[in-house]
Amino acid sequence: MTTTLNRDFKEIRSRIQSAHRILITSHVRPDGDAVGSTLAFGLALQEAGKDVQMVLADGVPRALRHLKNSEKIQKKPSGVFDLIVVVDCSGLDRVGTALDEYPKPDLNIDHHITNLNFAHINLVESTTPSTAEMLARYLPQWGLEISQIVAEALLTGIITDTLGFRTSNVQPQTLRTAAALMELDVDMPKLYTKALHERSFEAVRYWGAGLNHIEMENQIIWTTLSNADREASNYPGKDDADLVSLLASVDGAVVAVIFIEQPNGMIKVSWRARPGYDTSKIAAQFDGGGHKAASGATIEGALDDVKKQVITATQMLTQ
Ligand code: AMP
Ligand code: MN
Ligand code: MN
């Protein structure tokens, strides 16, 4: 496990205590951990009397807008800050436009194995399943209180990054942390259902397009979602509506890959793998990153060309 030095830990605490204007941001196409960690850290700081801006360049996805105070998250920061914090994010390019006008971040709190240590202080734990779990542990040590609303945001991050406590990196500590958050009057089953179970009619129709042309070879399963598929199903997002998790559940498939054509001509690729397979190495070959079991990259090129290149590279894992 990568942990920061104790010296850094004390420095983080004193920087938080002395800061007045604080910016918190996370990665583009934010997931439950990005939104939950941004919101939890931001709200805990606000409750401690700080002037905080929470920023996600792509905004909050519809499926996470039930989180209390999520409407406070802006798409752009304004003004100056004496502390800039990036959570759940492995590289500066992953914040999108959020920090375009700003200096190097002061603090990065993250759990990606591919983290580039891009801030002045980097607190990176690659074996902790979510950034939210790190924050649940550390916020009280930094003098911040975990209120009911903060707990709701943290628990959402933990639930979503562990796919409902079933990823292979879940530890007893993860469940203890989740239980402690539940005790703060948080409706865990409701958060679970909202974040992981409910989906729109359009999302399922979009899945149908992808499921129509799935392929499987050498224990690798994959499919594509084109701009036309998205338009035909009226799906509003630019992601895969988590179809990749369904592919990854197929018997005999150890690695799942999905290719999502983007309106700007790029191809978003997501990998998911069973324990024992490291997809982050393959993603890194395409300037992406992530975790062994879940990684991503955004690649320039035509859908069919990118698919060929990526499947060939991914086959290294199973041959
Ligand atoms: P996704 O496939 O977008 O659901 O992402 C899976 C995991 O890989 C998440 O932890 C992401 O933060 C990470 N990830 C996705 N795309 C990239 C990228 N281009 N660079 C670095 N990490 C990424
Ligand atoms: Mn994330
Ligand atoms: Mn995460």
> Are residues 152 and 10 part of one domain?
yes
Residues 165, 81 within the same domain: yes
The closest ligand to the CA of 128 turns out to be: 3
How confident is the model over 87-108, as a mean pLDDT? 97
pLDDT of residue 271 exceeding 60: yes
Query: How confident is the model over 53-79, as a mean pLDDT?
Result: 96
d(CA 35, ligand 3 centre) in Å: 10
Q: Using pLDDT thresholds of 50, 70 and 90, give the confidence band for residue 1.
A: very low
Between the CA of 195 and the centroid of ligand 3 the distance, in Å, is 14
Across 259-281, average pLDDT: 97
Domain identity same for 164 and 251: no
**Which atom belonging to ligand 1 lies closest to the Cα atom of 239?**
3
In the chain, the percentage of residues whose pLDDT exceeds 90 is: 95
Instruction: Give the range of the structural domain holding residue 234, as residue numbers without chain letter.
Output: 201-318
Q: What is the CA radius of gyration of the chain?
A: 19
The mean pLDDT of 178-200, rounded to a whole number, is 96
Mean pLDDT, rounded, for 51-72: 96
Tell me the best of 94, 240, 260 to mutate to test the pocket of ligand 1, counting ligand atoms within 8 Å of each CB and taking the most: 94
Ligand 1 atom closest to residue 161's alpha carbon, by position in its atom list: 10
Residue having the nearest C-alpha atom to atom 10 of ligand 1? 290
Q: Please report which ligand is nearest the Cα atom of 268.
A: 1
230 contact partners, CB below 8 Å, separation of at least 6 = 206, 238, 261
Q: Which residues line ligand 1 (CB under 6 A)?
A: 27, 29, 90-91, 94, 112, 114, 270, 288-291, 294-298
Residue nearest to atom 22 of ligand 1 (CA): 289
Confidence of residue 2 (pLDDT cuts 50, 70, 90): very low
For residue 229, count other CB atoms closer than 10 A to its CB.
21
> Which residues make up the environment of ion ligand 3, defined by Cβ < 5 Å?
33, 88, 130-131, 161
Q: Are residues 28 and 90 in the same domain?
A: yes
Angstrom distance (rounded) from CA 93 to CA 309: 23
Quick one: average pLDDT of 115-128? 96
Decide if 159 contacts 65 (C-beta within 8 A).
Answer: no
Among residues 148, 180, 196, the one where a domain terminates is 196
**Which atom of ligand 1 lies closest to the CA of 29?**
3
Q: What is the Å distance from ligand 3's center to 150 Cα?
A: 17
What is the average pLDDT value for the chain, to the nearest integer?
Answer: 96
pTM equals: 0.93
Answer whether residue 7 shows pLDDT above 90.
Answer: no
Same domain, 239 and 280: yes
Residue nearest to atom 11 of ligand 1 (CA): 290
Res 218 pLDDT > 50: yes
The verdict on 138 and 243 lying in the same domain is no
CATH number for position 185: 3.90.1640.10
Using the predicted structure, report yes or no on whether residue 151 has a pLDDT greater than 80.
yes
In this prediction, residue 5 carries a pLDDT of 60
Tell me what pLDDT residue 9 has.
Answer: 86
Q: What is residue 21's predicted lDDT score, i.e. its pLDDT?
A: 98
Specify the residue for token string 């605490």: 13
Task: Examine the domain organization and report whether 177 and 51 are in the same domain.
Answer: yes
pLDDT 10s digits, 283-307: 999 999 999 999 999 999 999 999 9
Number of domains in the chain: 2
Starting from the CA of residue 94, give the closest ligand. 1
Instruction: Examine the pLDDT at 175 and tell me if it is beyond 70.
Output: yes
